[in-house]
């Protein structure tokens, strides 16, 4: 059942060494969740967040699919089971199990609120989340400095676009991904590491739900800016500019 390993991750030398259910079935937002670890030869393991339509068993059905949140339907037969299910995949060392489990649990706890923001028009508390991000942002004294920009719909909104984004997007470097994850550890819903991003690209990224379990904003960040061929760095590169938000200078990027 060995899957392709994202770019930048050492590939396994042979097939899967077996699946291990770490947690589940767990309930949340009308889904049955499961965390599974697939052991592979070499330095990495494959971690799988599995969510299936739980129906009456999970007080479902869910209000919508988690696909707008970056989840994907399996390409073939689901190795976990379930006729209607979605996955998030991560390739990380065995030693990452603790942080992965914590992210998995927060994921299922905030799934209902995340889906309400997507499907029921629940307002996203963007300003409190941005204030928390600025409080937690990696320090400028890092060596080398951590470069990051607010990107996509977030950048457009900060420049006056009328429609607020459904989540906050950050572009940074691989070092920046790790630094942000360390600073936002309590909020993580996806661990920092190689994964498939919502646009189908393989990136080094992470996600968080900044706030409480009942009110917060999804924040996602990846190395989709600096370090990728044809895509200049997030600060000072083509398409980057500075805006003022409540007296804070913020780098924003609207062009990929």
In this structure, the answer to whether residues 93 and 153 fall within a common structural domain is no
Rounded Cα–Cα distance for residues 129 and 87 (Å): 26
Distance CA 115, CA 50 (A): 16
pLDDT of residue 140: 63
Claim to verify: residue 113 and residue 146 sit in the same structural domain: no
Q: Give the residue numbers spanning the domain of 130.
A: 126-253
Nearest in space to 83 (alpha carbons), one of 107, 114, 61, 100: 61
Query: Which token pair is 216?
Result: 């917060």
Is residue 11 in a domain?
Answer: no
How many domains is the chain built from?
A: 2
Domain of 162: which CATH number? 3.30.460
Query: What pLDDT does 13 receive?
Result: 41
Q: Is residue 37 part of a domain?
A: yes
In a domain, 13, yes or no: no
Q: What is the pTM of this model?
A: 0.88
256 residues of the chain, pLDDT tens digit each: 434 444 444 444 456 768 899 998 999 999 999 999 998 888 889 999 999 999 888 887 899 999 999 999 988 888 888 778 999 999 999 889 999 999 999 999 999 999 999 999 999 999 999 999 999 999 766 667 888 999 999 999 999 999 999 999 999 999 999 999 999 999 999 999 988 888 788 889 999 999 999 999 999 999 974 444 334 444 445 567 899 999 999 999 875 5
Q: Would you say residue 176 lies in a domain?
A: yes
Same domain for 245 and 135 = yes
For residue 70, being part of any structural domain is answered with yes
Are 144 and 189 in a shared domain? yes
HSE-up (13 A, CA, CB side) for residue 211 = 22
Helix (H) or strand (E) holding 38: strand 31-39
Q: Say how far apart CA 45 and CA 60 lie, in whole Å.
A: 32
Asked if residue 141 and residue 97 are part of one domain, the reply reads: no
Q: Final residue of a domain: which of 117, 138, 163?
A: 117
Domain limit, last residue, from 117, 135, 150: 117
Helix (H, G, I), strand (E, B) or coil at 45: strand
167 and 241 both lie in a single domain: yes
**One domain, residues 137 and 81:** no
Do 161 and 100 share a structural domain?
no
Whether residue 131 is found in the same domain as residue 110: no
Q: Is residue 10 part of a domain?
A: no
| Nearest of 181, 64, 43 to residue 117 by alpha carbon | 64
- 239 and 201, same structural domain? yes
Residues 84 and 182 in one domain: no
């Amino acid at each position: 059942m060995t899957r392709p390993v994202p770019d930048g991750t050492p590939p396994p030398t042979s097939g899967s060494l077996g699946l291990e259910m770490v947690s589940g079935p767990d309930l949340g937002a009308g889904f049955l969740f499961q965390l599974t670890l697939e052991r592979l030869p070499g330095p990495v393991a494959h971690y799988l967040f599995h969510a299936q339509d739980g129906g009456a068993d999970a007080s479902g059905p869910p209000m919508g699919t988690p696909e707008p949140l970056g989840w994907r339907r399996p390409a073939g037969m689901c190795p976990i089971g379930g006729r209607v299910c979605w996955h998030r995949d991560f390739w990380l060392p065995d030693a990452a199990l603790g942080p992965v489990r914590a992210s998995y649990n927060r994921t299922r706890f905030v799934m209902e609120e995340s889906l309400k923001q997507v499907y029921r028009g629940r307002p996203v508390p963007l300003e409190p989340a941005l204030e928390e991000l600025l409080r937690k942002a990696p320090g400028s004294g890092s060596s080398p400095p951590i470069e990051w920009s607010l990107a996509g719909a977030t950048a457009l909104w900060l420049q006056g676009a009328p429609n607020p984004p459904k989540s906050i997007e950050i572009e940074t470097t691989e070092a920046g991904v790790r630094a942000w994850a360390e600073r936002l550890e309590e909020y993580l819903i996806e661990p920092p590491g190689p994964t498939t991003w919502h646009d189908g690209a393989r990136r080094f990224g992470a996600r968080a739900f900044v706030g409480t379990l009942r009110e917060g904003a999804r924040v996602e960040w990846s190395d989709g800016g600096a370090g990728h061929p044809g895509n200049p760095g997030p600060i000072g590169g083509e398409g980057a500019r500075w805006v003022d938000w409540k007296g804070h200078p913020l780098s924003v990027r609207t062009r990929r």
